[in-house]
Structure 1
Amino acid sequence: MARRPIFLAAILALLGIVAAGGVYAQMEATERGIPPLDSSGTLEIGGLHVDVGGKTPQESRYAGWRVAQRLGFKKLWAKSHKLPESQAPNLSDATLDTIVSSIIVEREQIGPNRYIADLGILFDRARAGELLGIGGQTRRSQPMLLIPVTITGGSATSLELRNPWQRAWAQFRTSQSAIDYVRVSGQGVDPLLINAAQARRPGRGWWRNILDLYGAADILVAEVNVHRLYPGGPARARFIARHGPDGEIVGGFELTAPNSAAIPQMMERGVQQMDALFTTAYDAGALARDSSLNLPEPPPPPLEEEVAEKKAKAAPTTYRIGVTAPNAATYNSAFAHLRAVPGVARVDQLNIALGDTSYFNVSYRGDVGRLVAILTSRGWGAEVSGGQVRLFVRRPEPPAEQRPAQPQPQPTQPQAPANQTEPSAALRVPATGSSERAELG
């Protein structure tokens, strides 16, 4: 009976592990964004193959790492000075331990007394730079916004979904490249602003906004078109390097992978070769910034005469206006009308004299004739004398006198002659009647 609770606990634990793994797999499939590695303080050398033996597996592995450090420094020195590796200096293992930052295990096989691996070495830039003679500043390009685009199955994606091409660029160490890449992680609003469709848009205004947002000066598009023979089978990829908002082609190449499991390695080689294409184009001066990405020049400043004329037109003129207001309602109405006239900047009350003439100082942008015309159209009477305007309430005109309508004579009926008698009813017959009926009548 004691074994049954233990057996049930084991089953529950196994189910919990499977459920947790399913949740993690679901999060991994739907999560966006791959943060790029920060390699500004390191120097990387990869592809170091070692095959050493030892008495124990640990001793063999340690010896293999020692050999990789020596090979890595010589290879890095030869790459920095563009000389053969045979001319590189030999450093002691103690010195190499101080300048090596970390060791990257790309592939390894550990046996009882043998170690076979492909390794990468990361050297500290500050410490290794003095021994390599590259402690000074290196020539680099202006910040370039990198947009990785993957085309597969007829659809193009960039940062919308995680893919091997984006991961390869995120893991690429750019410290030794002449191109200053600005790589985005794909989190937040990145998939909305930087996607495969944006790489094809020519609009300069939107490109300026994106470049300002990410602190870049130009655009690089790394495009790969992947064709699979069948799911899980061999794959062939066509890599195209583009530059600028119009996607001008810099170069291209093709790589193949024996199966889908080898696609990540193919993408890593594609990143290195594409970086070489961009670097070669930069050294040749082919990555110049498109002038259309610059902000348009402002219009030339206006001439002094035009500025003085505009200021003269814009400066208001003060007019003194008197208003004959018999009561407070008329005064308030005049004050409100003066303030509501278009072009009036200010109305100052000089005095209030109800039943007499009250005066205002009106600052108006325009001619006094136009001011008077506007006030007249609003029902006020106005008189202009000596530069002053007097407003008064216009008296309504008396209604016109209505005269009674003259009787119109009735038309007279024509009178028959005296010697003509009224015809009898017997003779009122149609002309078409027969003579017999006329005689009977």
Structure 2
Amino acid sequence: MQTLLRDPRRATIIVAAGLIAAIILALGGRALYAQIAGDRGIAAVAASGDIQVGGIDVDVTAKTAEEAREQGWKQAMKLAWKKIDGPAIPDGQLYSLVSSVVIEHEELGPGRYIARLGVVFDRARAGGLLGRGENVQHSAPLLLVPVTFSAGTQTVYEIRNPWQRAWAEYQPGASKIDYVRPSGAGGDSLLLTYGQVGRRSRTWWRNVLDQFGASDVLIAIADLDYAYPGGPVKGTFTARHGPDSEFLESFTLSAPNQDALPAMLDKAVLRFNAIFESALDAGKLKPDSTLNLGAPQVDPALQRLIEYGRAAEAQERARQAQATAGPVPGETPAPAAPAPAVVSSFSVQFATPNAGAFDASLSAVRATPGVRGAAATSTAIGGTSVMTVSFAGDINALAAALRARGFTVRQAGAGLAISR
């Protein structure tokens, strides 16, 4: 030790190595913090069942700016009603059907109003006139992963981008697809990356889906090719589904310049929704059964051998106990009574897109073997309801019984979430 300390060359090397290690640790910590920090999240708008019509262009002149704007909004309401094939009704009745006007872009002048607007009609009041008053049958919760290809990079939530914003601002209330749209903030940028899209491991995907309460995954890819900075943009869009990234459909759109890119992406989102709805109707969006890990399954032949071995061991233990204790003279041994099953209560969440699904799920759970009773404790038609289930057994046995009834079961602690 004294020789080492007295050697100036070795002392210099040790000090330099320590400084390098400290710098690497500092830079590594900053890099990891940079991956989850920053203003990267875009919160998705709340889903509503109202009827939204976007992309309505108006150009109105009047005496004042306020009057031009009011006339422009009324004109947009009429054009939106015509766009969705609404029947002829008085203007006063039409205006009463509108719940809100969304300003996508507007320019105000002294006596002129130029804008692109969106009009939202209240479904409860307008649905009957449009023949859309019925409940919409939704899919299982599906995690949406928006991927952007641009300039040789693949981006999901690493930075804010127009493709993520288009999906965050999309109003899916009238869609058949129950989208799960992460905000992209915090750890979302670490969980959902382009690398995750290429993984095939069911364990990886199940862990990711459980983080967001989803049953399966939808992948929306936007490949944006810029002719030159700020110039025309060509977008090639591809819809994929599932942990194996199965191809559904592809299409192309174009925008004349950077300013028109958001409108092109909004149009692409609507095309994607139509593709996903068609796939749902064709039975292609059923949750992948391989994602439902459940309890480990034992080969039936091996299970029989295990049962035979346990029965032989039990008989041997019984013979040894009888030989040790011996029969009591004049007393007939009574048969052992089976141990009663312990009845426990569990909380079960279940998807209820409509009243029919609510009744069907409740009835199916009540008819499950081992269930002593089931009562709804929270009802949310169009969302997720909660029931309390009394079951003769533990939570793993309840999960297995529900899977046998055709439910997809996800277990989280002392509760379950089921869907079909």
TM-score (norm 1): 0.58
Match of 2:311 among 308, 313, 319: 308
Which letter maps to 1:311? Answer: A
- 8 Å CA contact 2:255, 2:264 repeated in 1: yes
- 8 Å CA contact 2:234, 2:253 repeated in 1: yes
Residue 317 of structure 1, CA deviation: 6.2
Q: Matches of 1:195 and 1:172 in 2, distance apart?
A: 21
Does residue 132 (structure 1) correspond to residue 130 (structure 2)? The answer is yes
Matched residue, 2:43: 35
Task: Give secondary structure in 2 for the equivalent of 1:119.
Answer: strand
Matched residue, 2:143: 145
Which residues of 2 match residues 29-428 of structure 1 at below 5 A? Answer: 30-76=38-84, 78=85, 88-93=87-92, 95-295=93-293, 298-299=297-298, 300=300, 302=304, 305-312=308-315
Matched residue, 1:363: none
In structure 2, relative to structure 1, the CA distance for the partners of 1:265 and 1:70 (3 Å cut) is closer
Residue 173 of structure 1, CA deviation: 0.9
Q: Matches of 1:185 and 1:291 in 2, distance apart?
A: 27
In structure 2, relative to structure 1, the CA distance for the partners of 1:257 and 1:69 (3 Å cut) is closer
Q: Matches of 1:316 and 1:156 in 2, distance apart?
A: 70
- 8 Å CA contact 2:104, 2:115 repeated in 1: yes
Deviations 1:34-83 (A, max 9, x none): 1101132432011222333333221121112112223323433x3xxxxx
Q: Matches of 2:77 and 2:290 in 1, distance apart?
A: 48
TM-score (norm 2): 0.61
- 8 Å CA contact 2:146, 2:164 repeated in 1: yes
- 8 Å CA contact 2:148, 2:223 repeated in 1: yes
In structure 2, relative to structure 1, the CA distance for the partners of 1:249 and 1:59 (3 Å cut) is same
Residue 306 of structure 1, CA deviation: 3.5
Tell me the percent identity. 46
Task: Give secondary structure in 1 for the equivalent of 2:59.
Answer: strand
> RMSD in angstroms over aligned alpha carbons?
2.8
- 8 Å CA contact 1:228, 1:234 repeated in 2: yes
In structure 2, relative to structure 1, the CA distance for the partners of 1:313 and 1:194 (3 Å cut) is farther
Which letter maps to 1:307? Answer: R
Residue 312 of structure 1, CA deviation: 4.7
Q: Matches of 1:189 and 1:283 in 2, distance apart?
A: 34
Which letter maps to 2:54? Answer: G
Deviations 1:179-237 (A, max 9, x none): 22111111222112111110110001121222233221221100112222333333222
Find the structure with the greater CA-based Rg: 1
Gap regions ≥5 residues in structure 2: 1-36, 325-420
Residue 250 of structure 1, CA deviation: 0.8
Residue 305 of structure 1, CA deviation: 4.0
Deviations 1:92-128 (A, max 9, x none): 42x3444322111223333444433221111233333
- 8 Å CA contact 2:147, 2:155 repeated in 1: yes
Gap regions ≥5 residues in structure 1: 1-28, 79-84, 321-441
In structure 2, relative to structure 1, the CA distance for the partners of 1:306 and 1:270 (3 Å cut) is same
- 8 Å CA contact 1:70, 1:91 repeated in 2: no
Q: Matches of 2:78 and 2:104 in 1, distance apart?
A: 17
